[in-house]
A and B are shown apart, each in its own frame.
Chain A
Amino acid sequence: MSLDIDIEHARESFRLQARFASQPGITALFGRSGSGKTTLVDIVGGLIKPDRGRVAVDGQTLVDTERGIFVPKHRRRVGYVFQDSRLFPHLSVRQNLLYGRWFARGPGGAAGDLGSVVDLLGIGQLLDRRPDSLSGGEKQRVAIGRALLARPLLLLMDEPLASLDEARRGEIMPYIERLRDEAGVPILYVSHSVAEVARLATTVVILSEGKVAAVGPVRDVLPLADAGDGGAVLDAVVARHDTDFGLSILTSPAGELQVPLLATAVGSSVRAYIRSRDVMLSLKPPEGISALNVLAGRIVEIAPSGAQADARLDCNGAMLVARLTTKSVQRLGLAPGLPVYAVVKSVSFERS
């Protein structure tokens, strides 16, 4: 499956101009608010008609302004999970879930029987309840299920976790991961959270002021994403769990990492996001410090910005970024090529 987008759309003073093709898995649309993410998703979903351009899913054209094609939204078979769940208040959870199934016709699309979707999302006990009696996290899971049961060819998720607190996000993320890995529906996922994108995305499209600033695999693109909140993505494997201290030990190319106990099984791969502001540098192997994770590496580049600088490290092939003050850079004499030790606070790992 692939998603091809090449559109232009202007409204008032804002101009969106986007062109990219995505790979299977989750494609994250990442950018600040006002960068055009939701507009782009609305165009794919058929809620907005672009001024000019083309949108195709799997070679099937949804929009082509030159050829005068505009498939109306109810014929697109694009499942849309909105930020504000939009469950139908007059229907039960079961009726909400089955709503799209009335209309789902034609071959292909995500697997669609109620039982398996209910299991996948863990919403079995909610079926006979009304939407207004559900918590925010439950509503979003039902909304995801409802979109899936319409057997979409493509799933759009517009900040599905934005309205939820940290605990609820943690509750839903595993379900989205399972969607990515099990349901086999390609997903276009809008987010402005680095942590979400790092954990979920396969491909990242960075939007900035209505333009595509970068496209590519999450590892390459995400560190460029956001100067204010930069970091690095590290792929790791769960080596063992240390239940005495409530820690999980991960192995990564950069070295061994100890993180708060993960719910994932030994041997499974996880993705950690390390914020650059959570990384300290030391010239010598540090001793007598509370941080558990120290990774050896070599400075590749130092990019100053104002009173601060981002030092990129090569840790045995894995990339890490440290946010430092320019004063520290000068005091330690940091320069490209210099071997250093990166001290990482264990709490800064995104649980996976």
Chain B
Amino acid sequence: MTPEEWTAVRLSLLVSVTAMVASLPLGIAVAWLLARGRFWGKSLLDTIVHLPLILPPVVTGYLLLILFGRQGTIGKFLDQTFGIVLSFRWTGAALACAVMGFPLMVRAIRLSIEAVDTRLESAAATLGANPLWVFATITLPLCLPGVIAGAILGFAKSMGEFGATITFVSNIPGETQTLPSAIYTFTQVPGGDAGAMRLTLVSVAISMAALLGSELLARRVGARRVAT
């Protein structure tokens, strides 16, 4: 593989891990709200969370560009107050990937929180645990396999994200050219087939490793729970 190809692989991993780690706390919070919360506008929140799943990725990318671009409402604010620029940077690619993977992550975590017996939660409360402690000591440990699954799904989605990323942050080698963008570039030039194939194989390997890793992790968490 050429150094450029390695750069794309490294960048993709960096973007995906960043997207996963950064969105996980918010993902857990939103999943908990959707699973346990009773508030006005819950179905609206549910719809917004699921939007990136239904919209064409290009539309999501374009919306991100409008909002987070240098001239966008949020982008301008971030640039002027914190000096953070997302557009045409790898951080922007991570944001695009996080947004695209968010519905999958939230869905997996939400289902596993819903599977946690609320009677255990109220038992913990009668023992003196406030809602935050109940979540940290009962709900979270019991839904951990779902959290792991959600995180891996988010990561896998990020590894494959193309449309929103290329629309929002373009396809700059070394900065925003992730694996899918690099493969796409290869297919657009004559004689790029070999490079596209190499990156495709890398992409398949990483995806399978992620899946296997999550299986193993979930099994270990499950085993710890029934161990005597």
CB-defined contacts of A75 to chain B, threshold 8 Å: 128
Between A74, A78, A99, A103, the greatest number of chain B beta carbons within 10 A of the residue's beta carbon is seen for A74
CB-defined contacts of A86 to chain B, threshold 8 Å: 117, 119-120, 123
Q: Contact between B126 and A103 (Cβ–Cβ < 8 Å)?
A: no
- The smallest C-beta distance from B149 to any residue of chain A, in angstroms, reads 17
> Any chain A CB within 8 A of the CB of B6?
no
Main secondary structure of the interface of B (DSSP, over half): helix
A60 to B123, CA, bound (A): 22
> Any chain B CB within 8 A of the CB of A125?
no
Which of A14-22, A128-136, A318-326 lies at the interface with chain B?
A128-136
> Any chain A CB within 8 A of the CB of B213?
no
Interface size class on chain A is 20 to 34
CB-defined contacts of A102 to chain B, threshold 8 Å: 128-129, 133
Q: Contact between A74 and B125 (Cβ–Cβ < 8 Å)?
A: yes
A146 to B127, CA, bound (A): 8
CB-defined contacts of A146 to chain B, threshold 8 Å: 127
Contact pick for B127, options A46, A89, A100, CB 8 Å: A100
Q: Contact between B126 and A73 (Cβ–Cβ < 8 Å)?
A: yes
> Any chain B CB within 8 A of the CB of A90?
yes
Q: Contact between A150 and B128 (Cβ–Cβ < 8 Å)?
A: yes
> Any chain B CB within 8 A of the CB of A343?
no
Q: Which of B108-164 contact A (CB under 8 A)?
A: 117, 119-120, 122-131, 133-134, 137-138, 141-142
Which of B48-56, B75-83, B95-103, B220-228 lies at the interface with chain A?
B220-228
Q: Contact between B127 and A133 (Cβ–Cβ < 8 Å)?
A: no
Residue of B nearest to A95 (CB): B137
Q: Contact between A88 and B125 (Cβ–Cβ < 8 Å)?
A: no
The total of chain B residues at the interface (CB under 8 A) is 24
A89 to B120, CA, bound (A): 9
CB-defined contacts of B133 to chain A, threshold 8 Å: 102-103
> Any chain B CB within 8 A of the CB of A47?
yes
Residue of A nearest to B134 (CB): A74
A79 to B141, CA, bound (A): 23
> Any chain B CB within 8 A of the CB of A82?
yes
Q: Contact between B127 and A147 (Cβ–Cβ < 8 Å)?
A: yes
- The smallest C-beta distance from A268 to any residue of chain B, in angstroms, reads 34
Q: Tell whether A88 pairs with B124 under 8 Å between CB atoms, given A74-B129, A130-B227.
A: yes
Chain A to chain B contacts (Cβ below 8 Å), 25 pairs: A47-B126, A74-B126, A74-B128, A74-B130, A74-B131, A74-B134, A76-B126, A79-B126, A80-B123, A84-B119, A88-B124, A89-B120, A89-B142, A90-B225, A99-B127, A99-B129, A99-B137, A103-B128, A103-B129, A104-B128, A128-B228, A130-B228, A133-B228, A147-B127, A150-B127
Q: Which 8 A-B pairs have the closest CB atoms?
A: A103-B128, A100-B127, A86-B123, A80-B126, A74-B125, A73-B125, A150-B127, A90-B141
**Further contacts, 20 of them, CB under 8 A, given A86-B120, A129-B228:** A47-B122, A72-B130, A73-B125, A73-B126, A74-B131, A75-B128, A77-B128, A78-B126, A79-B127, A84-B119, A86-B119, A86-B123, A89-B225, A90-B141, A99-B124, A99-B137, A100-B128, A130-B227, A132-B226, A147-B127
